[in-house]
């Protein structure tokens, strides 16, 4: 039996027309001799009546703040509605199907409401349905504790559900359906030259997500990577091949000439650069204080007399209060953006940083700070130059 996981996001189940396209994808897989296990998100976004945010707003306005246990119970409703709808539509088309909650599908989690993690799988019921040629339609984003309490998996939860089930069922692949043709080399809203990446490694996807790209959630990639199951990002509304996420892209390109040093470019807006002078009267290590305040810092450079790093705009007031409390002298630069070039093939290749600097200089983009790893090079620039910077990298590295 060739099991595949097909996950459909909120936009894919939001309208009657979209749901018909979902059915077409499921039936197509079935007709090709595959055994699909379907995972669905809640229908659309606010103000859609069945969207998760709509349900949450209704209870908050009616009854006030919600305890974590009831919060998870409420948030599980949207996906259950989607699962019942898709299963019923399949039945009406002559395809036996069954709607399942996350717990009924065998996802057993810890007790951490709102951000539960998988403890173990109990997928015997799903396997029995598959053996009987019944299509399981699973409510994403949720699981169940050993005690039978409903839990939710946090941000990106339906993607995570699909990846969990893929590993537990030893699926052939996991298809994540959305409203785009795949993962792109950059955000097309800031770079007209951005295009679909045919194949990308798990590690590169991690780096893109961590650097600000709106791609699949890292937790889902982590589960798929553990089981070494390919993830495919596809479009519900087209027949595009999509993007394959695999352990290694070696051998997937047609020739060595197709192998590019950089795979993609991500960016994160709303960064502030702080330059902080050393304090001779320092009572406590600054970085330790920053960590205790739950302030995430990036692009860290430490020198004998000062430190330079960036934070998110929303943490500005918190950090300034801290610096003033301990009498630090500092300057800050707002309106910054971190642009990150990502590619496993840059490891050990000389001259990549030089090419990035030359490309930015030619485009009139000033680089304020840099940081690099084996597979990434991050550059801090002004937000006003983000489009020019990303376009310049596409041209320099022939993306």
Domain boundary among 142, 164, 179: 179
List of residues 6+ apart from 65 with CB closer than 8 A: none
Domain C-terminal end among 122, 147, 179: 179
CA–CA distance, 86 with 216 (Å, rounded to integer): 23
Does any domain span residue 297? yes
Number of domains comprising the chain: 2
- The reply to whether 371 falls in a domain is yes
pLDDT for position 255: 45
- Is 234 annotated in a binding site? The answer is no
Which of 163, 156, 165, 152 is closest to 111 using CA atoms? 152
Question: How many CB atoms neighbour CB 43 within 10 A?
Answer: 24
227 belongs to a structural domain: no
The average pLDDT across 36-56 equals: 87
For residue 256, the model assigns a pLDDT of 43
**Pair 169, 176: CB distance under 8 Å:** no
Would residue 251 count as lying in a domain?
no
Q: Last residue of some domain: 159, 179, 199?
A: 179
Contact assessment for residue 366 and residue 382, using Cβ atoms and an 8 Å cutoff: yes
Q: What is the pLDDT of residues 92-130, one digit of tens each?
A: 999 999 999 999 999 999 999 999 999 999 999 999 999
CATH code of the domain containing 284: 3.30.2130.10
On whether both 14 and 137 belong to a single domain, the answer is yes
189 is known to lie in a ligand binding site: yes
Together in a domain, 141 and 284: no
Phi, psi angle pair for 380, to nearest 5°: -95, 125
Query: Is 7 buried (19+), middle (13-18) or exposed (0-12) by CB count in 10 A?
Result: buried
Q: Is residue 368 part of a domain?
A: yes
Q: How confident is the model over 371-383, as a mean pLDDT?
A: 93
Mean pLDDT of 268-285: 84
Cβ-contact 184, 394 below 8 angstroms: no
167 is in an annotated binding site: no
Residue 303 maps to a domain? yes
Before 47, cis peptide (omega within 30)? yes
Q: Are 243 and 194 in contact (CB under 8 A)?
A: no
> Does residue 212 lie within any of the structural domains?
no
The region, left, alpha or beta by phi > 0 then psi within -120 to 50, assigned to residue 294 is left
Q: Per residue in 212-261, pLDDT tens?
A: 888 788 888 889 999 999 999 999 999 999 999 998 876 555 444 456 89
Residue 307 annotated in ligand binding: no
- 53 belongs to an annotated ligand binding site: no
Given a cut of 80, is residue 70 above it in pLDDT? Answer: yes
Whether residue 289 has pLDDT greater than 90: no
pLDDT-derived band of residue 313, with 50, 70 and 90 as boundaries?
very high
Task: Say whether 101 counts as a known binding-site residue.
Answer: no
Is there a domain that residue 374 lies in? yes
Q: What is the mean pLDDT of the chain?
A: 91
Residue 214 annotated as lining a ligand binding site: yes
Output the pLDDT for position 69.
95
Same domain, 170 and 23: yes
Domain of residue 291: give its range: 264-396
CATH of the domain at 155: 3.40.1160.10
State whether 167 and 21 are in the same domain: yes
- 174 and 323 belong to one structural domain: no
The answer to whether residues 21 and 161 belong to one domain is yes
Whether 22 and 159 map to the same domain: the answer is yes
241 is in an annotated binding site: no
- pLDDT score at 257: 42
Q: Is the pTM of this model over 0.75?
A: yes
Task: Average the pLDDT over 307-319 and give the result.
Answer: 94
């Amino acid at each position: 039996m060739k099991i595949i996981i097909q996950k459909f996001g909120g936009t894919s189940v939001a309208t009657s027309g979209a749901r018909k396209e979902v059915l077409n994808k499921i039936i197509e897989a079935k007709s090709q001799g595959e055994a699909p296990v379907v995972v669905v998100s809640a229908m659309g976004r606010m103000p859609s009546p069945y969207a998760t945010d709509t349900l949450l707003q209704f209870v908050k306005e009616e009854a006030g703040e919600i305890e974590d246990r009831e919060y998870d119970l409420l948030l599980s409703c949207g996906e259950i509605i989607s699962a019942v709808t898709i299963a019923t539509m399949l039945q009406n088309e002559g395809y036996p199907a069954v709607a399942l909650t996350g717990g009924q599908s065998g996802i057993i989690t810890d007790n951490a409401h709102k951000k539960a993690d998988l403890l173990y799988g109990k997928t015997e019921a799903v396997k029995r349905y598959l053996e009987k040629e019944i299509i399981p339609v699973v409510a994403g984003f949720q699981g169940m504790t050993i005690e039978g309490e409903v839990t939710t998996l946090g941000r990106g939860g339906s993607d995570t559900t699909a990846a969990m089930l893929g590993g537990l069922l030893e699926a052939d692949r996991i298809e994540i359906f959305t409203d785009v043709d795949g993962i792109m080399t950059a955000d097309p809203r800031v770079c007209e030259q951005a295009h679909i990446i045919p194949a990308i490694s798990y590690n590169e996807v991690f780096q893109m997500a961590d650097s600000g790209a709106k791609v699949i959630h890292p937790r889902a990639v982590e589960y798929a990577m553990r089981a070494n199951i390919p993830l495919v990002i596809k479009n519900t509304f087209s027949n595009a091949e999509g993007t394959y996420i695999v352990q290694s892209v070696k051998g997937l390109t047609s020739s060595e000439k197709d192998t590019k040093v950089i795979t993609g470019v991500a960016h994160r807006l709303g960064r502030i650069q702080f330059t902080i002078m050393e304090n001779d009267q320092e009572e406590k290590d600054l970085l330790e204080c920053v960590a205790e305040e739950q302030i995430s810092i990036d692009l860290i450079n430490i020198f004998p007399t000062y430190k330079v790093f960036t934070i998110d705009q929303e943490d500005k007031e918190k950090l300034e209060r801290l610096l003033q409390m301990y009498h630090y002298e500092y300057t800050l630069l707002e309106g910054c953006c971190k642009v990150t070039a990502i590619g496993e093939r840059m490891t050990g290749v000389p001259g990549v940083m030089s090419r990035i600097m030359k490309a930015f200089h030619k485009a009139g983009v000033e680089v304020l700070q840099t940081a690099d790893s084996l597979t990434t090079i991050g550059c801090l620039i002004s937000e006003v130059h983000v489009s020019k910077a990303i376009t310049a990298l596409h041209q320099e590295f022939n993306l």
